Structure 1
Amino acid sequence: MSNDDPRDASLETKFVFPNTWYRDDADSLSTSGVFFSGLVMVTRNRYLAWPGVLFALNSTINQHALRAKEGSGGALGNLALSVMALLASYLPYVTVTAKPSS
């Protein structure tokens, strides 16, 4: 067998996780999701809630637990905030009914 054959048992090494991977850059999509969620709460514009939910889903799907710094906020909190902003923006359409005055 040649030395670069991947089936060679002598070339096997034990799989080891790295100690930590640090991500120094900020997640701008996650920050945008939080911004849109806050903007929905302030302006009551329900159409701004949808991009917030999409950004939160993106940050939740693309999170890397081993690359996050210890103590950093998780993406699930961002997702929960975005979903609650979406629910709060559509809740008046479900609960508030206009009755004609007689």
Structure 2
Amino acid sequence: MSSNDPRAQELEEPFRLPKTYTESLDAVTSLSMLMAGGTLLTRNPYGAWIAVFVAIGGFMNQHPLRTKDGGQSWSSIM
């Protein structure tokens, strides 16, 4: 075979799993947790709905980064 043939045995590489994803913590996640805590302290029922909507928005707008360490994508909901 020729040297630039992709099927050549010397060009083979072992299989490697891709690196895992992790998300960067942003202000929306922190705001969601702060609003949920404030709602518990003030017992405001409408604040709970706002915290839920902000948490769902933060979850939908996450952008994962390529890193070696794995992360949890549910941090904004919890």
Taking the TM superposition and a 5 Å limit, the aligned residue runs for 1:30-45 are 30-45=29-44
1:9-48 correspondence to structure 2 within 5 Å = 23=24, 27-48=26-47
Which of structures 1 and 2 has the larger relative contact order (alpha carbons within 8 angstroms, sep 6+)?
Answer: 2
For structure 2, the 5+ residue unaligned runs are 1-17
Aligned length: 61
1:64 Cα offset (Å):
2.5
Aligned-residue Cα RMSD (Å) equals: 3.3
Unaligned runs of 5+ in 1: 1-16, 81-102
In the superposition, the TM-score normalised over structure 1's length comes to 0.43
More helix by share: 1
Distance 1:52-1:69 versus aligned 2 partners, 3 A rule: farther
Are 2:21 and 2:64, in contact at CA under 8 Å, matched by a contact in 1?
A: no
Contact 2:28 2:54 survives alignment (8 Å): yes
Q: Which residue of 1 aligns with 2:60?
A: 61
Higher strand share: 2
